[in-house]
Structure 1
Amino acid sequence: MNERQVDLAHTVALGSIDDVDHHEVQELLDTEDPALRAEFLREIGQTREALAVLATATATPPPATLRTRLLTAIAAEQPPVAS
């Protein structure tokens, strides 16, 4: 894979693919080169795994007051008015 294809795989793994890149990604998935397609999908999978490990390693619990603040904010909202 070339550098652009690796970048596209990372973009897909991050879930941030846009319309411009979507066409290129589809071409890679539809390629008649099974080795290239497999390598592209493997790169996506490895990137997702690395992101999951990072998320787990850096996760922090929310502040104890968050639930109370959210419930207070929800209660303060006006209910929708039927028209």
Structure 2
Amino acid sequence: MNERQVDLAHTVALGSIDDVDHHEVQDLLDTDDPALRAEFISEIRQTREALATLATATATPPPAALRSRLLAAIAAEEPMYRRNQ
């Protein structure tokens, strides 16, 4: 794979693909080169796994008071059906 294709695989793994990139990705997936297609899919999978590992390693628990603040904020909201009338 060339550098552009690796960048595309990372873009797909991050879920930040735009229309132009989407067409390039589709071309890669539709390629007649099964080795290139497999390498591209493997790069996406490896990137997603690396991102998941990073997210797990750097995760921090929310502040203890967050739950009660959120529940209080939700309780203070008007019901949706009232807002839309």
1:58-80, Cα deviation, whole Å (9 max, x unpaired): 01001101100100110111123
What's the counterpart of residue 36 of structure 1?
Answer: 36
**1:54 deviation in Å?**
0.4
SS at match of 2:4: helix
What's the counterpart of residue 22 of structure 1?
Answer: 22
The 5 Å alignment of 1:42-57 reads 42-57=42-57
What's the counterpart of residue 60 of structure 1?
Answer: 60
SS at match of 1:60: coil
**1:20 deviation in Å?**
1.4
Q: Which runs of 5+ in 2 are unaligned?
A: none
Instruction: Spell out structure 1 runs of 4+ moving beyond 6 A.
Output: none
Structure 1 CA distance for aligned equivalents of residues 58 and 14 of structure 2 = 17
SS at match of 1:64: coil
**1:7 deviation in Å?**
0.3
**1:18 deviation in Å?**
1.1
Q: Percent identity?
A: 83
* Matched positions, count: 83
Output the amino acid matched with 2:46.
Q
Structure 1 CA distance for aligned equivalents of residues 64 and 18 of structure 2 = 37
